[in-house]
C-alpha cells in the first residue's frame, strides 16, 4: 500500500484557472506538509498541519490555501494560477516525536501552467 | 537555522563505499543532522539522522565529528539505484519538522 499518495500526478492548466491537489497518508501520522520544488530543483516548505491545525505557513501567496479535513488528508488549492506556479509539489507526513522527524514524501504532482 | 555545505557532485564505483561529506560549522546544540535523498522524478526519501553519536541503519551510516561541525554519510556498498541527490539538513528539535533543503550532492554510481 502506498504510504503517501497524491492526485493528480500531472496537472496541466491555463493561467487564471483554479486547481486543487490532494494528498492522503495511511501511516497514521499527525503532521502533514506541502513542499514546492521549482525548476532549479530547490525544495521549499510551504505549509504544515499538525492534527488539522496550521503550524507552518511560509511566505506563500495567499492564492495558495491548504485544507486539512482530517489528519490523513491535506489538500492544496491554488487560485488564479500563474506561470510561476509551475513546479513539482510534494506532500509529506510525519509523526511528532520529540527529537525525531522522519518525513515520508509522496511521489509529487507536476503542475504546468500555460 | 544552521546552513550546510556539500559538494555539488561526486562519482562512486558500484560496490564501493560512498562517503558524502557535509559541513555544518554553525550547528547549535539542539540541532539534529538529517540526511535525505531524492532519486530522479521521485519524492525525497529519509535516510538517517543523528545528534551527537554515530548512527547506523540498514541504508547507511552517519559519522558526526566530535565538535559536530561536520558529518559524513556512508553508503557501504553503493549500487546503481543509489544514484540520487543527497541532502544534508540540520534542524532544531523544536522546529515542527521544518526541513530546509539546500542544493545537495548529486551522486552518480557507475558500473
Tell if the CB–CB gap between B96 and A33 is shorter than 8 Å. Answer: no
Which comes out higher in pLDDT, residue A59 or B82?
B82
Tell me, what's the pLDDT at B98?
77
State the Rg of chain B over Cα.
13
Tell if the CB–CB gap between A103 and B101 is shorter than 8 Å. Answer: no
Cβ atoms of residues A78 and A85 within 8 Å: yes
Per DSSP, the three-state class of A40 is coil
| DSSP string covering A61-89 | -TTEEEEEEETTEEEEEE-S--GGG-EEE
B92 and chain A: CB distance < 8 Å anywhere?
A: no
pLDDT digits (tens, 9 = 90+) for B41-91: 899 999 999 999 999 999 999 999 999 999 999 999 999 999 999 999 998
Q: Mutate which of B42, B97, B101 to test chain A, going by most A C-beta atoms within 10 A?
A: B97
Cell of A108: 509529487
Residue (of B22, B28, B24, B15) closest to B86 by Cα position: B22
Cell of B100: 530546509
B85 and chain A: CB distance < 8 Å anywhere?
A: yes
pLDDT digits (tens, 9 = 90+) for A62-82: 999 999 999 999 999 999 999
Say yes or no to pLDDT of A30 above 60. Answer: yes
pLDDT band at A1 (very low <50, low <70, confident <90, very high): low
Amino acid at each position: 500500500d502506498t504510504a503517501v499518495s497524491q492526485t493528480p500526478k500531472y496537472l496541466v492548466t491555463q493561467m487564471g484557472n483554479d486547481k486543487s491537489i490532494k494528498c492522503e497518508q495511511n501511516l497514521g501520522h499527525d503532521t502533514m506538509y506541502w513542499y514546492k520544488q521549482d525548476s532549479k530543483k530547490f525544495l521549499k516548505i510551504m505549509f504544515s498541519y499538525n492534527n488539522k491545525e496550521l503550524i507552518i505557513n511560509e511566505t506563500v501567496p495567499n492564492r495558495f490555501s491548504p485544507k486539512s479535513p482530517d489528519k490523513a488528508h491535506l489538500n492544496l488549492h491554488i487560485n488564479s494560477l500563474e506561470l510561476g506556479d509551475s513546479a513539482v509539489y510534494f506532500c509529506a507526513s510525519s509523526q511528532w516525536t520529540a527529537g525525531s522527524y522522519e518525513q515520508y514524501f509522496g511521489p509529487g504532482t507536476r503542475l504546468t501552467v500555460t | 537555522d544552521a546552513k550546510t555545505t556539500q559538494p555539488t557532485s561526486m562519482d562512486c564505483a558500484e560496490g564501493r563505499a560512498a562517503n558524502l561529506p557535509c559541513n555544518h560549522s554553525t550547528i547549535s546544540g539542539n540541532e539534529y543532522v538529517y540526511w535525505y535523498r531524492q532519486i530522479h522524478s521521485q519524492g525525497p526519501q529519509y535516510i538517517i539522522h543523528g545528534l551527537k553519536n554515530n548512527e547506523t541503519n540498514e541504508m547507511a551510516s552517519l559519522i558526526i565529528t566530535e565538535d559536530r561541525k561536520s558529518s559524513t554519510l556512508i553508503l557501504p556498498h553503493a549500487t546503481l539505484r543509489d544514484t540520487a541527490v543527497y541532502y544534508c539538513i540540520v534542524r532544531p528539535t523544536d522546529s515542527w519538522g521544518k526541513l530546509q533543503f539546500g542544493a545537495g550532492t548529486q551522486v552518480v554510481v557507475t558500473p
